């Protein structure tokens, strides 16, 4: 939590310092033009790569696989798009980095490893049967019968 607060306070300061430094080097109007150009170009790249990601997702679904890789890429592309639309050169740099496929693949693997560790550390309740199963619908009588140990047979 402390790291988050420090980042939240230091990030705008770093963006302002970077903007002033670039404005002194290029001039204010050129700096503003560069920020707009990076945002427009970044939005175009996000759209283009997003369409490719959707195509990969469709192919995996057509092959009967769960498209976890393309879904993660889609989330990372959304983060990249957000970072590119937020004014600032540091956020633009991180957004453009996420548009590079090898960087995005590394981030995807890092996230997968982090989620696996988190899931492994999460305590699980004991297996007591069908969690949340309170009964079943009795078609003949039109009512709900009390819960049973085994689930009802599927109707043909």
Of 26 and 156, the one with more pLDDT: 26
Quote the pLDDT of residue 153. Answer: 60
CB of 85 within 8 A of CB of 39? yes
| 90-112 pLDDT, tens digit each | 999 999 999 998 999 999 999 88
Structure tokens given for 112: 């997968």
Quote the pLDDT of residue 138. Answer: 47
Beta bridge partners of 137: 144
Q: Where are the domains of the chain?
A: 10-124
Beta bridge partners of 143: 138
User: CA neighbours within 13 Å on the CB side: how many for 124?
Assistant: 8
> Which residues are CB-contacts of 125 (< 8 A; sequence separation ≥ 6)?
131
**Rounded distance between C-alpha atoms, residue 23 and residue 34, angstroms:** 10
* pTM recorded for the entire structure: 0.68
From 130, 127, 131, select the one nearest 149 (Cα to Cα): 130
**Rounded distance between C-alpha atoms, residue 73 and residue 141, angstroms:** 50
| 5-54 pLDDT, tens digit each | 888 889 889 999 999 999 999 999 999 999 999 989 888 988 888 888 88
Could you give the residue ranges of the DSSP H alpha helices within the chain?
Answer: 2-26, 28-62, 68-85, 89-98, 101-121
């Amino acid at each position: 939590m402390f790291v988050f607060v420090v980042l939240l306070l230091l990030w705008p300061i770093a963006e302002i310092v970077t903007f002033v430094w670039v404005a002194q080097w290029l001039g204010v109007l050129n700096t503003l033009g560069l920020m707009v150009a990076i945002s427009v170009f970044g939005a175009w790249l996000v759209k283009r790569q997003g369409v490719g990601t959707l195509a990969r997702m469709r192919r995996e679904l057509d092959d009967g696989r769960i498209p976890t890789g393309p879904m993660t890429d889609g989330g990372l592309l959304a983060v990249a798009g957000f970072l590119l639309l937020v004014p600032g050169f540091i956020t633009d740099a991180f957004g453009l980095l996420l548009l590079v496929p090898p960087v995005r693949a590394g981030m995807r693997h890092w996230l997968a490893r982090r989620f696996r560790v988190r899931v492994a550390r999460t305590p699980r309740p004991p297996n007591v049967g069908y969690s949340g199963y309170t009964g079943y619908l009795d078609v003949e009588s039109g009512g709900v019968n009390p819960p049973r140990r085994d689930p009802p047979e599927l109707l043909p």
